[in-house]
Structure 1
């Protein structure tokens, strides 16, 4: 985010997560062609900065302490909120 008094007038694009970038493309096409009433998604991310490379402790929950290479651990995402901002007709359908 750039304060308005610091802007140079050029367009700024803020990239979302890889999950959001993938889902929003499919959601737009499917919603335009068929309409989306309700949807579920599952994401199995590769290594992320918060994942451990070997088993260890986690302050958040037990699954966060598992080694990323040996385990596929579902994690939370805010992709649904961002999709609602990009495709306003889907805002609140999560």
Structure 2
């Protein structure tokens, strides 16, 4: 089943911002899970994993995305726990 998200002219800006927030957050979490699978595969094959990034711009971007993903995960976890009550 294919889900389509259509943005109409009468869509409120806060809905668009919320959609962007969740899309970016879920992308970060999905990317983190995929990266963990790659790291564990490399550890299983070689016995260790070493990653080195020399470009400060890319390193800063990765750190910002990691912090955003952590904040998004905490936000979604709290939202889930509150919905159980």
Relative to the length of structure 2, the TM-score reads: 0.28
Relative to its length, the structure with more helix (as a share) is 2
